[in-house]
Amino acid sequence: MQSFVRLSLLSRRASCTPPSLPPDNRLTRVTASGKALGWGTAEECSQAAPAYPCGITPAHEWLDTVLVLNQAQPDYSNTFGRFGASGTLSSSDSGKTWTGDKVTTDAWDYTPMCPGDDGYKLTTLDNSVFNTNCGVDFVNGELASKLLGIVQDCVTFCDETENCFFAVWDGTTYGLKSSVAKKVAKDGMIAGSLVSKGC
């Protein structure tokens, strides 16, 4: 017996409609491999502008979702996880067809937060790696400073600036520092220290 899950999904994102969808925004997928085990949706880090790497990904919704299983599975709802999401699917035909008016995945912030993300590695699009240092500043060796929203943008500008080894951020302003800068402890600061330079 061939196993498949047919998905009929109407997607609406907070910021845009995915360009790959047909004009009515209806997306249908059928798997015929016999290995379709479920359906899910989540936020993912795509390392797209303006944050390199990811900052905040927007919330999105699946509207009028319909899952049609090749055979009834009354306990399919036991597979549902809702970390950072709301909504549910229900069945009126003993588990053969599952429907939901709206399933929402919340916005997710990938910005490193201190102190929990101390030591977190940020990788730029050019594959340079910066180590996150919480409660750290680098003094001297100033190259540039500017108002900027997130630490990911700071390390990107450092990566794009000649002789930059450190990016420091106080929550509103970033500073770029050369290799002569000295590390000091400073509450409220986040620093990105170059670990390896990409292309």
DSSP characters for 71-93?
S--TTGGGG---TTEE---B-SS
Instruction: Please state the separation of Cα 167 from the chain's center in Å.
Output: 22
Q: Give the pLDDT band of residue 1 (cuts 50, 70, 90).
A: very low
Cα gap 86→10, rounded to integer Å:
16
Range among 2-11, 89-98, 103-112 with highest mean pLDDT value = 89-98
Q: Given this model, what pLDDT does residue 67 score? A: 84
What residue ranges define each of the domains in the chain, with the CATH number in brackets?
A: 5-109 (no CATH), 121-196 (3.50.4.10)
Burial class (CB in 10 A: 0-12, 13-18, 19+), 51: buried
Q: Given this model, what pLDDT does residue 137 score? A: 93
**99-125 per-position pLDDT tens digit:** 989 888 887 767 777 888 888 888 887
**40-79 per-position pLDDT tens digit:** 666 666 554 444 456 667 788 888 888 888 889 898 887 7
Q: Given this model, what pLDDT does residue 41 score? A: 67
- Model's pTM, two decimal places? 0.54
Average pLDDT, the chain: 75
Cα gap 109→107, rounded to integer Å:
7
Kindly give the residue spans of alpha helices, DSSP state H, lying in the chain.
151-159
* Lowest-confidence pick of 25-34, 93-102, 132-141: 25-34
Query: What SS3 state is found at 152?
Result: helix
